[in-house]
Amino acid sequence: MVSPKSHASPQSKALISKSLKECKKYLRSKSNIDWARSFYQYTNRLAHLYFLRELNGWPAFLIFVYFVNDKEMTGPESEEEWRGAIKLLRAYLGVERTKLTPFMMDVFIDVKSLPIGRRV
């Protein structure tokens, strides 16, 4: 969930920052944090959904895929752990319930249920 800020060029960073601020304003986030920082990947995806749906009128949806029991990545071992982290993240960003929420979905995949040694 935590991701580093963008390593884009200064010109691109200015556009990214402007776009994230516009999305944040549209979603009426009361959070005073910089969306281009620690949770950049998440906020960038929200901005893309905003761009596609609201600015271009395309019927886009955003699906977040979370992996459970991924020992290699030391991630959460249960859906409940993920849901707690997601709830905290959304509260921190000020996007618990927004105009885009109906077009977003969380999917949880237990890596233990995946076939081992088979390429997909």
* End-to-end CA, the chain: 24
**Residue among 85, 21, 11, 9 nearest 50 (CA):** 21
**Cα–Cα distance between 46 and 89 in angstroms, integer?**
13
Number of structural domains the chain divides into: 1
- What are the tens digits of pLDDT across the range 20-73? 999 999 999 999 999 988 899 999 999 999 999 999 999 999 999 999 988 888
On the question of pLDDT at 120 being above 80, the answer is no
Contacts of 120 (CB under 8 A, 6+ apart): 114
User: Does residue 83 lie within any of the structural domains?
Assistant: yes
- What are the tens digits of pLDDT across the range 74-114? 888 999 999 999 999 999 999 999 999 999 999 999 998 88
* Residue 109: per-residue pLDDT: 94
User: Does residue 102 lie within any of the structural domains?
Assistant: yes
* Residue 114: per-residue pLDDT: 85
User: Does residue 1 lie within any of the structural domains?
Assistant: no
User: Does residue 55 lie within any of the structural domains?
Assistant: yes
On the question of pLDDT at 12 being above 60, the answer is yes
User: Does residue 20 lie within any of the structural domains?
Assistant: yes
User: Does residue 41 lie within any of the structural domains?
Assistant: yes
Instruction: State the residue range of the domain holding 29.
Output: 10-113
User: Does residue 2 lie within any of the structural domains?
Assistant: no
